[in-house]
Amino acid sequence: MFNETKTHEITVDTVILTIKNDELKVLLVKRENEPFKGKWAIPGGYVRMSEDLDAAAMRILKEKTNVDNIYLEQLYTFGDPLRHPVSRVITCAYFALIRAEDVDVISTDNVAWHKVNDLPALAFDHKEIIQYSLKRTRERLEMCPVAYQLLNEKFTLTEMQKAYELIMGKKLDKRNFRKKVIQTEGLRELDEFSKSTSKRPARLYTFDNIRLNSKRAHFIKKEKKC
């Protein structure tokens, strides 16, 4: 099946997660070319010869979705020889959590946010890649409050808790969550309140230092993993 003398093709693929309408969503693009033409896929493309992997991920994401200036973290490299139905393509996957308000997605029929818990049929092994990015996100969330990356610049503690609950897939106690989270280094209480759509307006908070060196998210029970 394979010509062993040929060199490989390498792509990068990016998993972009956000919260919209109380749902965890992932940014997908509709494939314009074969294979899997017309199927949804995470944004990806070929790495140029003189291009760093990180740079390629940023460039391709920008080209396909107009999303720019975000922190992409390398996730995993998927190299199953059969993951691409035509040729041998190894892909280095990246992921990011972003604020929907921060990016300027060209929303077309070919670029859209999809619920992570209700994905359409995806091209290649992209479903597996998304699942793995969720696993990694949960692990990161246990170590530090990265959920702030998903929230607006100003957010309520209830919104933050909701983000945690969406990612971790479980309910958390409001009082203990609050008690713990307000100890987080970098979190600043504002003198502003949510435009109460209903009921009592909630205080807004913000994160001061983006490169936060904060506390472990102790209010999430740590899983033992090996």
Judged by the rule CB under 7 A, the positions of this chain that interact with DNA are 156-158, 173-176, 178-180, 193-194, 196, 198-203, 216, 218-219, 221
CB of 7 to a second copy, least distance (A): 5
CA-closest candidate to residue 18, choices 91, 92, 103: 103
Sheet holding 187-193, edge to edge: 155-156, 203-207, 187-193
Binding residue (CB under 8 A) for a second copy from 22, 63, 80, 192: 80
- Cα separation, 203 vs 210, in Å, equals 20
Q: Which of 3, 21, 33, 69 touches a second copy by CB under 8 A?
A: 3
Point out which span in 13-21, 71-79, 102-110, 171-179 binds a second copy (CB under 8 A): 71-79
219 binds, among a second copy, DNA, none (CB under 5 to 8 A by kind): DNA
80 neighbors 86 (Cβ within 8 angstroms): no
Distance, CA of 76 to CA of 129 (rounded, Å): 8
Q: Is 86 in the site for a second copy (CB under 8 A)?
A: no
Instruction: Tell me the C-alpha distance between 172 and 141, whole Å.
Output: 14
Using CB under 8 A as the criterion, which residues of the chain lie in contact with a second copy when the complex forms?
1-10, 47-54, 56, 74, 76-77, 79-81, 88, 90, 92, 143-144, 146, 211-216, 222, 224-226
